[in-house]
Amino acid sequence: MDLEVKGVSASPRSQTQPFSGRKMPLHQGWTSKSWAIQNAPCLPVVPPLDLGSLVDSDDEDDVSYVPISVSPIRFDPPNSSSALDLVIPCQIPYIQHHLNELEQDIIPEDLPEPTDKYKLKYQQYKTEMKEGYKQYSQRNAEKTKSNLMHQLSPKNEIDDKCVREEETITDYLTTLDRKALLQQCYADNPYHAQHSTRKSNAETVAAEKKKQTVTEQVMIDHLSRAVISDPEQNSTTEKQESSCICPDSNTEPFRFRKRTLHETKIRTHSTFTENMLSHKVQFDGRIISRNGHDACRELLGFFFIHDQSLTIYEYRQFGKNRTNVLPFIQKDIYTHQRGRRKGKRYQLGDFYIGANLTFSSSDHPRLPESIKENTLFILRITNIDQRALDSLRSDPIEHEGDITSQEANDRLVFKAIQDELKEQLHKRGVRILTGLRKYFQQVDKEGNGLLDKADFKQALKVFHLEVSEKHFESSWLILNDSGNGTVDYGEFTRAMIGEMNEYRKSFVRKAFMKLDFNKTGSVSIIDIRKCYCAKKHPQVISGHSTEEEIKLYFLETLKEVCSKSDEVSYGEFEDYYEGLSIEIVEDEDFVAILRTPWGI
């Protein structure tokens, strides 16, 4: 049986008809290669390869003209997925196989080598790129080096330090200034108004309890202990005993024998009554010292009107429940040790908030060794019983001690200098005050805190603080009242630049005392990092910065103050907030800056 197979011939129309988007069977003239090309999603159209265009021509220098055929399209299936992003995963191996075939068909192996002209252009381009990267690296290295030189300062090379300070201290704000100013944002948080009021009330009640405890101890000491230990009691008792002894008796009766305790009913010249001791002015004081343990002592003083005597007690707390009140300066009549009133007795007019009381260390052998290192120690009055002071001033008894005109003129001189420097310290207070302190410590070869006139002039020049010659000479005459040619640089800084009021400093001491729970006078950076809380910073609340970023900014600016890399002393802690306080007008805003991160 003969079978006849009739073939179906493809019409010319079916061979030339373009692809219309429908899948067509293979028997209608489509090969596997053409099917893969047409079904690949968004594959670019491969232009015909024109090898004749690779010949050098005069139009090569025209960058705007790039022939399509010069840069053929390459497919790198193993490394690139740009053409396969939209392909179904099951189609990827099949498509990659045919793309490899296309690459082998499109890219010829006998491409001519690039001409010398192209090689020269490539070499020039390569050289320019290397040179640009080299310049970029040099700029970054110089910037990093300048930052390191600003942070690190050798202790033994004072001249190099001065040159470096002159280069880094400029009129514009540095990164350190901007990071330090972030602490001022705490004052913008409205959360503190109600919270700080509750804390202030609790602190006021606790302070009143302390004062009441100290007052009771003072009255007990001077009403009982002073009478019992009065040497005048011995002579009075001996006279009474001798008058009562019988001449014929061999042994003295027991009642006539010498007693070991004094007869407290006998009145002596130093005997006090409660009425006499009640006429007094009570005040809080602090020691002006760079030693944190001494600066944070809680001292309460009393000035008695009847004999113009003075005594100071220290309130000490051991743990949570044990407290003690100890005499710090015994009751006696004292005189000014320096200033316009040197040698004159203390009087009622010498007691006001911000007044300095000077004492000689040699007159008080029981003082701590850290205080006796200096010839004089200064006590600053931080708070005073204003009601008692006003009532005593209205007393008909006249009290000398009004501020003299010379002292008033001295204050005007310092006020003029402080106003002159205030504009120069605008937003740079932290950097300049901390830098001045470190500079003075390096210049102080002997380590006694005293510098001469030339050193202070050089310091003002290095830190670009301009003070008129007239004002400087006037201030030097006031500060150098002893005439020895040297002045304490802490006192010089307070007089020339000024200092924050005692209300603000009380909160600085509270923050430091919370950190320095061992009362060593210094706090480690690790403890500061643990205690500092930036959760309520406005930038953290708004999401512009993280809590860790604000904490790092604070630690970076605080480390600039420190002479040691791992701890902060009280003086350095105070210098930081002293510089920050210059730009803050309201006291409550400054208190908010301390309350919020430290939780005081």
DSSP 64: T
In this structure, are residues 385 and 281 in contact, taking their beta carbons and an 8 Å threshold?
yes
Lowest-pLDDT range, 92-101, 152-161, 205-214? Answer: 152-161
Lowest-pLDDT range, 251-265, 442-456, 515-529? Answer: 251-265
Q: Residue 357's pLDDT is what? A: 94
Beta partners for residue 378, in sequence order: 358
List where CATH 2.30.29 sits in the chain.
279-402
Query: Residue 456: which pLDDT band, with cuts at 50, 70 and 90?
Result: very high
Summarised one tens digit per residue, pLDDT across range 479-532 is 988 788 899 888 999 899 988 999 999 999 999 999 988 888 899 999 999 999
Q: Residue 554's pLDDT is what? A: 92
User: Which CATH class for the 279-402 domain?
Assistant: mainly beta
DSSP helix/strand/coil, 345: strand
In this structure, are residues 280 and 304 in contact, taking their beta carbons and an 8 Å threshold?
yes
In this structure, are residues 440 and 494 in contact, taking their beta carbons and an 8 Å threshold?
no
Mean pLDDT taken over the chain: 74
Which residue did the predictor score with more confidence, 43 or 188?
188
Cα 440 to Cα 443: distance, rounded to the nearest angstrom: 5
| Dihedral sign for Cα atoms in the order 286, 291, 296, 298 | negative
In this structure, are residues 335 and 344 in contact, taking their beta carbons and an 8 Å threshold?
yes
Cα 144 to Cα 432: distance, rounded to the nearest angstrom: 22
Whether the pLDDT of residue 199 is over 90: the answer is no
Lowest-pLDDT range, 259-273, 298-312, 458-472? Answer: 259-273
Segment 207-223 mean pLDDT: 87
**Would you tell me the crossing angle of helices 429-443 and 453-462 to the nearest 10 degrees?**
140
Q: Secondary structure of 92-150 in the HEC alphabet?
A: HHHHHHHHHHHHHHHCCCCCCCCCHHHHHHHHHHHHHHHHHHHHHHHHHHHHHHHHHHH
Within 8 A by CB and 6+ apart from 48, the residues are: 69
DSSP helix/strand/coil, 505: helix
Segment 519-546 mean pLDDT: 90
Q: Residue 336's pLDDT is what? A: 92
Q: 510 burial class (0-12, 13-18, 19+ CB within 10 angstroms)? A: middle
Segment 293-313 mean pLDDT: 92
Q: Residue 573's pLDDT is what? A: 92
List where CATH 1.10.238.10 sits in the chain.
180-195+500-598
In CATH terms, is domain 180-195+500-598 a member of 3.30.565.10?
Answer: no
Selected from 1.10.3470, 3.50.30, 3.30.450, 1.10.238, the CATH number assigned to the domain covering 407-429+441-494 reads 1.10.238
DSSP helix/strand/coil, 444: coil
DSSP helix/strand/coil, 280: strand
Q: Residue 272's pLDDT is what? A: 67
In this structure, are residues 329 and 311 in contact, taking their beta carbons and an 8 Å threshold?
yes
Q: Secondary structure of 518-572 in the HEC alphabet?
A: CCCCEEEHHHHHHHCCCCCCHHHHHCCCCHHHHHHHHHHHHHCCCCCCCEEEHHH
Both tokens assigned to 243: 């008058």
Cα 368 to Cα 233: distance, rounded to the nearest angstrom: 32
Q: Residue 228's pLDDT is what? A: 53
Q: Residue 166's pLDDT is what? A: 41
Which residue did the predictor score with more confidence, 440 or 397?
440
Nearest to 523 by CA among 564, 481, 551: 564
Query: Residue 441: which pLDDT band, with cuts at 50, 70 and 90?
Result: confident
Cα 565 to Cα 468: distance, rounded to the nearest angstrom: 37
Summarised one tens digit per residue, pLDDT across range 120-131 is 877 887 888 888
